[in-house]
Structure 1
Amino acid sequence: MKLRVEVVAIDCLMVRLFDAIDEANMPWMLAASQRLRAVFGERLIDLVPSYTTLMLQFDMLLCSPLEARDLINNALRDLQPDTCAGGRRLEIPVWYDASVGPELSVLAARCGVSEDEIIRRHSGREYQVFALGFAPGFAFMGLVEESLASPRLATPRKRVAAGSVGIAERQTAAYPALSPGGWNLIGRTPAPLFDRQRDGYSLLQPGDRVRFVAIAHAEFLALGGDDTPLEEQP
């Protein structure tokens, strides 16, 4: 870990702990987040974890930028990961089908395997939730195996249905709501990923570990899934 503090705004600092994305970073990120929340207390406005950084916004009426830097350095001095800490383990059901995941067949053709094999590979490992971003409840997870890694679409879609599960590079995610998007879609989940009535709003939080579980069309519908095919877009 190489601690660096960078200025984002007059009341916002970026705490950089690592330079490269790695699943091994997460225990350190969680430990740093806990310490910073404890040390800043009511002076903290927001703390946003990402793959390698923590963006920290503080109340300037209670804390100057210099004091904020001192608090960060003191909080993270001699930081050690808590090997017992970690998020929840969750299973997310997915109906993998080309009608809602048009890149499923594209990935199969590129890899020279069947669509069933792509499904087996995607659902065959546990993914770490690294960060939330892009849209409320959108969880960046990884890492998918290298054979499935795919660049974002050259032209993003204007409308991606809620629940759409996709891959971008070695990340995977599910769209919590209808939105534009350029990820390679391979299926759809009926799970409500964002709910204003839920504590914390988002189903997934950084540090959680997720396994996608393939389900049949009938179960997808029974769980409240919308099987409207993805619209063809110019």
Structure 2
Amino acid sequence: MTPRIEVVAIDSLMVRLFDAIDEGNMPWVLAASQRLRDAFGQQLIDLVPSYTTLMVQFDLAPGEARQRILQALEGLRPDAGQAGRRHEIPVWYHASVGPELPVLAARGGMSEAEVICLHCGRDYPVFALGFAPGFGFMGLVDERLATPRLSTPRKRVAAGSVGIAERQTAAYPAVSPGGWNLIGRTPVRLFDREREGYSLLQPGDRVRFVAVERAEFINLGGDDSPLEAQA
């Protein structure tokens, strides 16, 4: 593998490892992240892994930073012993909190139970964090669940809302605008300033969504305030 290095700013370079999103990318991205952290040490300001790239922000001359990147990634191989954490995230799947659940079912010629089963049926790697603190972009959902973002985003999406956009899935860590197709809600706090690292999810982690009934959702601290379907 020969990484491509692109200039982002005077103190930032983008390392492009792949051109397409794929679950198999993550072991390489994690291995590259560790090598770059070791190579830059205290001169690393920030390192942001994503689907196919790593953004490196540094405190040294750009030419030296480029050389460190090339040297660090020479002979890169995934580390079989390096893996993120696995999380099981409970979700109450219901049209009152996930208005697009029946929409996705009808579009795919499935029952709502089949949609839920498909969404819960696999582990999802966390590709990247973004959009909002603690918002983990995950995938890839079963092709039968793939659906475009809403043509008009909602002005307000409840915290914990679980949604799908194209073949990605995510849960909103806080109240915010959003255009993903909502199918349920989790009571889990995805971003907490009292938690070390703040975000529950990190790139390279794996997530399995687990369907729960409303009573358990409420017992776990969930908010069952309904959302309206998007026209």
Q: TM-score range by the shorter chain?
A: over 0.9
- Show the counterpart of 1:27: 27
Secondary structure of 1:125's partner? coil
Is 1:58 aligned to residue 58 of structure 2?
yes
5+ long unaligned stretches in structure 2: none
Tell me the distance in 2 between the aligned counterparts of 1:28 and 1:233.
Answer: 38
Which structure 2 residues correspond to residues 149-228 of structure 1 after superposition, within 5 A? Answer: 149-228=146-225
Report the Cα distance in structure 1 between the residues aligned to 2:61 and 2:74, rounded to whole angstroms.
20
SS of equivalent residue, structure 1 residue 6? strand
Matched, 1:230 2:227: yes
Match of 2:83 in 1: 86
3-state SS in 1 of match to 2:190 = coil
What residue identity is the alignment partner of 2:183? Answer: I
In structure 1, runs of 5+ residues without a counterpart are none
Residue equivalent to 1:5: 5
Instruction: Among all aligned residue pairs of Structure 1 and Structure 2, give the percentage whose two residues are the same amino acid.
Output: 76
Q: Alpha carbon RMSD of aligned pairs, Å?
A: 1.0
- Say if 1:123 and 1:232 are closer, same or farther in 2 by CA, change over 3 A: closer
Q: CA deviation at 1:31?
A: 0.4
SS of residue in 2 equivalent to 1:167:
strand
Q: Which residue of 1 aligns with 2:36?
A: 36
Mapping of residues 93-112 of structure 1, within 5 Å: 93-112=90-109
CA distance in 2, matches of 1:78, 1:150: 38
Kept in 1, the 8 Å contact 2:158–2:175? The answer is yes
Contact 2:99–2:230, Cα closer than 8 Å, also in 1: no
Q: Give the corresponding residue for 2:121.
A: 124
Partner SS state of residue 47, structure 2: strand
Say yes or no: does 1:144 pair with 2:141: yes
Q: Could you say what secondary structure the match of 1:131 adopts? A: strand
Structure 1: 4+ residue segments shifted above 3 A: 231-234
Distance 1:39 1:84 in 2: 20
- Whether the aligned pair in 2 keeps the contact of 1:158 and 1:233 (CA below 8 Å) is no
Note closer, same or farther for the CA distance 1:232–1:145 as it changes in structure 2 (3 Å cut): closer
> Does residue 45 in structure 1 map to residue 45 in structure 2?
yes
Query: How far is the alpha carbon of 1:112 from its aligned partner?
Result: 1.1
**Contact 1:2 / 1:18 at 8 angstroms: preserved in 2?**
no
CA contact (8 A) 1:87 1:207 kept: yes
Q: CA deviation at 1:2?
A: 3.4
Once residues 10 and 97 of structure 1 are traced to their aligned partners in structure 2, the CA distance between those partners, rounded to angstroms, is: 48
| Structure 2 SS opposite 1:141 | strand
C-alpha contact (below 8 Å) 1:2/1:16 kept by paired residues? no
**Inter-partner Cα distance in structure 2 for 1:135 and 1:57:** 20
Q: Report the CA distance between 1:231 and its aligned residue.
A: 4.5
CA distance, structure 2, for counterparts of residue 173 and residue 190 of structure 1: 14
Offset of residue 111 of structure 1: 1.0
**Could you tell me how far apart the structure 2 residues matched to 1:170 and 1:2 are?**
27
Q: TM-score, normalised by structure 1?
A: 0.97
CA distance in 2, matches of 1:82, 1:49: 16
